[in-house]
A and B are shown apart, each in its own frame.
Chain A
């Protein structure tokens, strides 16, 4: 009888000494940490993709650059996040120039040129175009033509890079 109690006491003492096994969790964390550090980009995101559109995929290897941001979503055309024209209205215009977009872009070009004259900030005429992958060509060509006519001749089409 006494020996039984002793045995139980000993086993209780033993169970107190058992620690949480963290080693396997540490292994896992180390692997995740290395993976995340590898994918960490010091550049940060220069372009924020809009929520309501899916960009097309391409095999291009060129990294994004900073520039004026023109977004063609299914509802609106936005310049630097500011809505300029309803996408549905574009088909109404004759010719390739969208007047409201042109006005907005010219404003930006003017500002950029002023900046160049005053502070020497380089004006490159770069514009990044984000368009939904299902956008018809006639819409795209109108926006591109308007950009070209509004002192922004260097177009950059934003795409998802395909994994090679």
Chain B
């Protein structure tokens, strides 16, 4: 004969109740409070430090630096409506033809991956040869949008090599020569 569970035991368990109403009250108060103060979009900033307006002393400081370190890379990325032009004192990265951008647009989109790749190669070549291997000058045509400029800065700031972050050119300056 199969074992029949005790009726008394079953009855006891059925009657057990934890009073969770105060905990519910707590939740109902806490959740709206935290919801109201929650941040759903995370804001960030990009730092750009312009040189101070006065620069009369600069020439004297430069004299003290040894001759070899004075060579400057002057890396410039120009954003046009056809693509990126990259130029530095090493060389101007030419496109397939003269007067064509170094990195042309792909299907109407800017090719940021290619830009990062080219800048990485440049950084490798320029490292320890120039004094300003952290600096990049960004120029743009007058109608290039802010988002494109921010993306260009992102592409030129760092890259990932074998899962490690590699700093390219974090110090951005803007130039307005073209405009």
B51 within 8 A of A: yes
A61 within 8 A of B: yes
A63-B45 contact, Cβ under 8 Å, with A29-B27, A40-B34? yes
Q: Which residues of A contact B147 (CB under 8 A)?
A: 56-57, 133-134
Q: Which residues of A contact B47 (CB under 8 A)?
A: 62, 154-156
Given contacts A153-B53, A155-B49, A160-B44, 12 further A-B contacts (CB under 8 A): A33-B31, A33-B34, A39-B38, A55-B43, A60-B157, A136-B143, A137-B79, A140-B146, A153-B50, A154-B47, A154-B48, A159-B45
Q: Which residues of B contact A36 (CB under 8 A)?
A: 31, 34-35, 38
Q: Which residues of B contact A32 (CB under 8 A)?
A: 31
Q: Which residues of A contact B140 (CB under 8 A)?
A: 137
| Closest chain A CB from B150 CB (angstroms) | 4
| Closest chain A CB from B36 CB (angstroms) | 10
Q: How far is the CA of A18 from the CA of B45 in the complex (A)?
A: 56
A47-B43 contact, Cβ under 8 Å, with A36-B34, A58-B150, A141-B174? yes
Among A40, A62, A136, A154, max chain B CB count under 10 A is at A136
A45 within 8 A of B: yes
Q: How far is the CA of A56 from the CA of B150 in the complex (A)?
A: 7
Taken residue by residue from 20 to 36, chain B's Cβ proximity to chain A (1 for < 8 Å, 0 otherwise) reads as 11011001001100110
Q: Per DSSP, are chain B's interface residues mostly helix, strand or loop, or mixed?
A: mixed
Those of A28-79 within 8 Å (CB) of chain B: 29-30, 32-33, 36-37, 39-41, 44-45, 47, 49, 55-65
Which 9 interchain pairs have the tightest Cβ spacing? A36-B34, A138-B142, A133-B147, A161-B44, A135-B146, A137-B140, A29-B27, A56-B147, A153-B50
- Interface size bracket, B side: 35 or more
Q: Which residues of A contact B143 (CB under 8 A)?
A: 136-138
Partner of A158, one of B34, B45, B49: B45
In the complex, which residue of chain A has the Cβ closest to the Cβ of B79? A137
Chain A: residues with Cβ within 8 Å of the partner, total of: 56
A/B pair count, beta carbons within 8 Å: 149
Q: Which residues of A contact B24 (CB under 8 A)?
A: 22, 25-26, 29
Those of B96-125 within 8 Å (CB) of chain A: none
Those of A132-164 within 8 Å (CB) of chain B: 132-138, 140-141, 144-145, 147-149, 151, 153-161
Contact surface of A with B, Cβ cutoff 8 Å:
19, 22-23, 25-26, 29-30, 32-33, 36-37, 39-41, 44-45, 47, 49, 55-65, 96, 128, 131-138, 140-141, 144-145, 147-149, 151, 153-161
